[in-house]
Structure 1
Amino acid sequence: MQDWITDDPMHFLRSMKAATQLHAEEFMTCTTCEQQPWFSFFFDGTENNRDIGESWQMHTNITRWMTRVFMTMTLCVLAACATGQPRGYVDVSAWGANYTEDYIQDFWIQTDEGKDTGVGGVLVSEFSRGGTSGHICCSLMPGVGKTIKVVWRVGGRQDDKSQWKTYSRDVVVKGAMPTKKDAYNILMVRFFSDHQVEVEVIPDRGEPGDAASPRVDKLFYGQRVMRHMGE
């Protein structure tokens, strides 16, 4: 069977001419099979060399087309792996900035469909005590212009978890998408009075030697400067 697998059509034709009638009957007639081999029509005694050549050319064209489709799909997959994220998503580390006197036990980001993204933070201090959270790195989430849901829980430092209160808001992501492939991107989550919240992507920060973005809240530099929504 391997003699029939070739990229040389002339070799293929010579092999067919050398085939015995026994081979032809074996290929063409298969009473116990559900279907005949794809090449059985070559041996029905009616096809001439021209028809065989045309059939082989059609087979070659189909093979080339399938190869191109496969390569295109492969390149698309490789491109997705190279970027490391779906279109419109961004890889971020969440930082919490608290402009209230609520102690925020934790917060997390969901898609507008309610699916957890893995982006979040814990232990966001009251404004009077610094107003910042720790940094948890890193996860993918919908990027700038997309609607997300911020969920957070508020409770006293000594309160039992059963006493915590949960709040959520649907917000549109502000800011700018990153331009550097391996940049360290911040999702700044800002909490305001009346349980309002805003989120901003601060891109391309964290490269060696780069200066901090002016969009990073001054709370993270030890300056207790009040901020308001939209600033």
Structure 2
Amino acid sequence: MAAAQRTAGAGKGALGRRRGPSAALIAAIVVVVLFAGAVGFGVWYAQRPASGGPVPTGTTAAGVTVGNPSAPHTVDAYLDFLCPICRAYEQQSGATLDQLISTGQAKVVYHPIAILDRLSSTQYSSRAAAASGCAADAGVFPQFVKLLYANQPPENSAGLPDAQLTALAQQAGAPGSVGQCIAGGTYRGWAAGVTDTASKAGVNGTPTVLVDGQRIGLTDAALQAATK
């Protein structure tokens, strides 16, 4: 298993309508995942691409904020799009995150980081994180994140090709020009910067979830309790 891991929103509707992985399943692999995440950051840091360059519209060098900026709570979600545990967290808590955003109870700051490039022959983590910047530029970041996890490739594979990332971005609502942004790696530097910022903040694995600056457990109950 690779690094600890998280996700962006999930399907709409009442909480509990969709069954995801159990909290016990996620908790059972936390120790292994955290160790793998630390290794992942170490490898990434030694081989990291240059950060900097253009920043997607509506984002910062730290990530992408979704929801009311004045919401009483802030959820920080650190995720890698190749990370299977991030996908599991999406299935478990994505609907809760969606509800927190839609009701104005919390804003969610997504930090798409790339620490699993070693588990892809095409640096998929970096490519997908950069592509999410293109989606943010087009105003469809949350929808794109859902589609990335719904179509997540396995670890130790080539990952999704740029053409498929483009198709998913267009499915999320981005214009056809998003293909140039993705294929050209326009936001690779931004993605590297988000990853570097996370590392300096002490985040060493994905998913890592904080509420109002405090790290919480990777359970839906923990997320709901911290955002009451």
TM-score by length of 2: 0.24
More RCO (CA 8 Å, sep 6+)? 2
Structure number having the greater helix percentage: 2
Higher Rg of the two aligned structures = 1
